[in-house]
Structure 1
Amino acid sequence: MSTLNARSDDVLEKTTYAPLIRHNKICLVLANGFYEWDKMSGKPIPHGFSLKDREVFAFAGLWTEWKSKSGDEIYRSFTIMTTRANDIVGKVQDPKFRMPVILDSAEERLWLDSNFAPMEKLKLCDRYRDDVMQVHIVSSSVNITAVKGGPNNHPAFILPMNSQ
């Protein structure tokens, strides 16, 4: 079962996610950007999204842990909250598409606050402002997870295509 993303608009209705937010299994997922593939032109062209005003920012997240069947190992995982796409993401994807919930600095504190009610936390899960976001086309190699048995994580993948 894929649990990469949790839809903020129905998270309290999902048996996988509702207990996490109700029991404050809340986290911040740090990032300096995210990728989406162009679905509007018919070609799978990766685009990198980042913020103009912050080099590192946080997605709203939920976390959980469980034990292996043998009970010997503890596994931890997280999911990123999503919301409807803003205009800048909607130009690359279908406007009905979803995007990660990006929190501003004040919202990060509220998201982590155990005294802040789940319904109030979910009000933070709105579209991020377009005017502080930027987008550029990146190398299609960003989609390849391994090359010759090793990780494919070259730093140039996050640069705009014309600067590589």
Structure 2
Amino acid sequence: MCYDVKARLYTQLNRAKSLNDKKKIKEIVEKLREMGAEDLFHCSGFEHPAILIYTKEHPDDPVLARWGFVPENTKDETKQMAIWNKTLNARGEDMFETWSYKQSAHDKRCLICVDGFYEHYHYKGKTFPYYIHNSNNEPMTLGGIWSEWENKETGEKLKTFSIVTTKGNDLMARIHNNPKLDGPRMPLILPEEAINDWLSVEVKSEADKKRILDLIKPFHEKELSAHTVRRLRGKNAVGNIPEASNQFDYPELPKEDSKNDELNLF
């Protein structure tokens, strides 16, 4: 699953920066600052943070959306709050059939630019957080779906999104080993050649649907790196500080530099 990410503002603007339009970037940053946006060194989806997403309508000009998908036909605020924590991730293989997501799967897919994500490893009854990122430290582009829900009582419109997930690769199989879950999962990390298709393909036929489903696959393990970090939850949680993604070694775990350690991650 993907419930925790690192997403600095600079990284969230990664796609917009590719246009080399410094004036536009400055305008976006000023707007974000006015709205109270901040760097997210560690954020949990359960806090429903506002994060920049790129949509088909605004492919290079990001918009703010809250993490936690709210379907457009959600009846009222009570229903919205009840569903919010259950829609942080959308299972990619099933999104065209799942009632909450199928409309957006057809025509409201989005991109989310992050530095990396966090996942918890289970070992001898305890959990240990890992930070997973591109080995070259470049931003990741995640595939998502989005929606705009209107609160009929207040008239307020709320943009929300869910991060699409796929089957975990071998690295995630070793880290994301929660015995209560059905197999390892990971966020959909889109390679460069898949980004435009994910954003722009209009699903009007079974062939179009297959074209999108074919993009939902594990990212190459060899292009990712992982290391343990300080606690993300509980009374000792590190919080939203730059050091959140720094490596932190736990004496309870096998040495990471051992070629025969239990995880054999590196």
What TM bracket, shorter-length normalisation? 0.7 to 0.9
Aligned to 1:102: 189
Matching residue's letter, 1:14: T
| Deviation by residue 1:117-158 (Cα, 9 ceiling, x = unmatched) | 232112111011010100000010x2359x8xxx93111011
Q: 1:81 aligns with which of 164, 172, 177?
A: 164
From 121, 140, 149, give the equivalent of 1:57. Answer: 140
**Equivalent in the alignment of 1:5:** 89
What aligned pairs does 1:7-156 form with structure 2 within 5 A after superposition?
7-22=91-106, 24-94=107-177, 96-115=183-202, 117-140=208-231, 142-143=232-233, 152-156=239-243
CA positional deviation for 1:30: 1.1
Alignment TM-score, normalising by the size of structure 1: 0.87
State how far apart, in whole Å, the 2-side matches of 1:17 and 1:9 are: 11
User: Residue 102 of structure 1 aligns to a residue in which SS?
Assistant: coil
Cα root mean square deviation, aligned = 2.3
Equivalent-residue separation in structure 2 for 1:105 and 1:144 (angstroms): 37
Structure scoring higher RCO (CA < 8 A, sep ≥ 6) equals 1
Aligned residues: 157
Structure index of larger Rg:
2
After TM superposition, give the deviation of residue 69 of structure 1 in Å. 2.9
The aligned amino acid for 1:86 is: N
Residue identity in the other structure for 1:18: K
Q: TM-score, normalised by structure 2?
A: 0.55
Unaligned runs of 5+ in 2: 1-82, 250-266
In proportion to residue count, which structure has more strand?
Answer: 1
Report the CA distance between 1:106 and its aligned residue.
1.3
Cα deviation digits, residues 18-52 of structure 1 (max 9, x gap): 11111x10100111100111124431100000011
| Residue pair 1:144, 1:152 contacting (<8 A) in 2 also | no
| Separation in 2, partners of 1:46, 1:137 | 6
Separation in 1 of the partners of 2:123 and 2:213? Answer: 29
| 1:54/1:123 CA distance change after superposition, 3 Å | farther
Q: Distance in 2 between matches of 1:86 and 1:40?
A: 19
Q: Give the distance between the partners of 1:152 and 1:138, measured in 2 at CA.
A: 12
Change (3 A) 1:85 1:40: farther
Deviation at 1:94, TM superposition (A): 2.5
Structure 1 distance, partners of 2:124, 2:134, is: 24
Aligned-pair identity in percent equals 28
Q: C-alpha distance in 2, partners of 1:125/1:114?
A: 14
CA contact (8 A) 1:40 1:91 kept: no
